[in-house]
Chains A and B, each alone.
Chain A
């Protein structure tokens, strides 16, 4: 029984952590390529959730189709966002910070107006639960974790094996050198945003059947994503993965044993890392 009390949060945390990894990964991809921290990233996550919700409930699309559709929609939206809002900022940090804050307001309020203030719930994709070793896990959460893992592997493949991915790595390491090598920075910006936003939207869509969906769901996710990318190191995919799992597990245990005060944990972790090893567990140069 003790084992169950200790293991349950671990498994739950790992599964939730997987989705955090996706969001954080999206954030870090955008940051390492564009040198822009998109604070509205949480709202993209919300957007993905809402997309899936509406595709499933209004258009009666099967979840298996709705999820990829939502991911594509969000990805395209990301490209538009880059074009309209972030490219004119030309990498100036202050301007992009203010722009992304403006976007938070825009998206959150628009969501509130269009979708209303009431949280919505979707029917679960796989309603039953599964248990082994005396631990109960909902099949939905298990599926969420697996889909996240799949996407993570796909992104990993893209970044490390494809030409475009390697171009992204080059830009992340040294913008000027990459440009001198003939890499078209103007193409990579939209690509980075597309992937980054698609990942966040995917996470939202994955969590849509599991959580309540409302206009403010992005805010808490942003904080955790920041903590994850700091913990794991900006620009590092394995770092985001490890960081996400750690944050997921810590949050899970924290909620189980400490309750409300445990919501400070991701932020405290973040502060401690920034004070001691700014590059995070696995990051390269700051």
Chain B
């Protein structure tokens, strides 16, 4: 194993270790809750980014979070399903919807695809607001119970009411989703995704079924979004038509862009940095969107490559000092 991959593995292990110990490190339940939210945002943003690596910007990403949230919440609250059954069903529904929509709309490219996704997000929002039963109409579903406790033989049942319990639940699923995204991105499949983004035409001509790959990224990304939506309902206890509008999806693109779109770690960095900033700005909450906006304008117009790009540049130039020049 080369030195680079050894360091990377150590970093991975360290991060996972910290994440596992988090409830021990952070005793304050408010902050633990904020961190849990951040984890859900990481999942949503990373899955959004996965679709972007094929060159498609899905501003309707939030709609799939909504689908996941609504289906699982409705199944539990209205039809009495167990959370552990409604979760996979919600993901499956989101997957099927993503497949159908993907096959139909991924033929469209560029700015027109972006507009299409905006339109779809709005349609989803309106549709969920249309039915009192089972989706709660314009008000949505409120007072959702925490996930169904798991009964274990001869052990006390696992309940998910306390903040640490919720944290671990969310952590498991976020690691799963983010892990899937990372695996795909690092594999040769991920290279094909990037090739499609660089030149759809050339990719086609070397034999890549670009439609198939774009749909794959779209379905995986959307199912991860649905998972994020379900986790969101566990945390907040409600879901409304306005919970995941296009405005929310705008946050994903912002976090990803500020963090840096070129690498897997960029969006995660962006989520972390901006969510922390958001907490710091809580006293001036009304001004938060303005500060965000100004930050964003500065980031987009002045710093190419986002935070990750800046870190890379600093890293590279620090490395150059004291090393021999290459011929």
Contact = CB atoms under 8 A, between A and B. Distances in A.
Direct contact of A and B (CB under 8 A): yes
Interface of A: 37, 85, 88-89, 93-95, 97-99, 101-106, 108-110, 112-113, 223, 226-227, 230, 260-261, 263-264, 267-268, 270-271, 274-275, 278, 286
Given A89-B301, A105-B250, 17 more contacts: A85-B297, A97-B57, A97-B253, A99-B297, A101-B253, A101-B296, A102-B254, A102-B292, A102-B293, A102-B294, A102-B300, A103-B293, A105-B290, A109-B286, A260-B130, A261-B130, A271-B116
Prevailing SS type, chain B contact patch: helix
B293 A105 contact: yes
Given A94-B57, A274-B115, A109 B287 contact: yes
A268 B301 contact: no
A101 B130 contact: no
B120 interface: yes
A274 B129 contact: no
B108 interface: yes
Interface residues of B, number: 37
A136 B250 CA distance: 42
A189 B111 CA distance: 19
Contacts of A105: 250, 289-290, 292-293, 296
A271 B116 CA distance: 6
Interface of B: 57, 104-105, 107-108, 110-112, 114-116, 118-120, 122-123, 126-127, 129-130, 250, 253-254, 257, 261, 286-290, 292-294, 296-297, 300-301
B289 A99 contact: no
B112 A98 contact: no
Nearest to B298: A102
A270 B119 contact: yes
A223 B118 contact: yes
5 tightest A-B contacts by CB? A106-B293, A267-B119, A102-B296, A109-B289, A105-B289
B301 A226 contact: no
A274 B108 CA distance: 7
Nearest to B296: A102
B255 to A, nearest CB: 11
A113 to B, nearest CB: 6
Contact of A101 (B105, B126, B250): B250
B290 A267 contact: no
Contact of A89 (B110, B250, B288, B300): B300
Contact of A270 (B107, B116, B261): B116
Contacts of B127: 261, 264
Nearest to A220: B122
A98 B253 contact: yes
Nearest to A104: B250
Contacts of B130: 260-261
A155 B129 CA distance: 39
B105 A275 contact: yes
Nearest to A259: B130
A88 B250 contact: no
16 contacts: A37-B114, A89-B300, A95-B300, A95-B301, A98-B300, A99-B297, A101-B250, A101-B296, A106-B289, A230-B112, A260-B129, A260-B130, A261-B127, A267-B122, A268-B119, A271-B123
Given A95-B300, A98-B300, A106 B123 contact: no
Contacts of A275: 104-105, 107-108
Nearest to B253: A98
A110 B253 CA distance: 22
Contacts of A104: 250
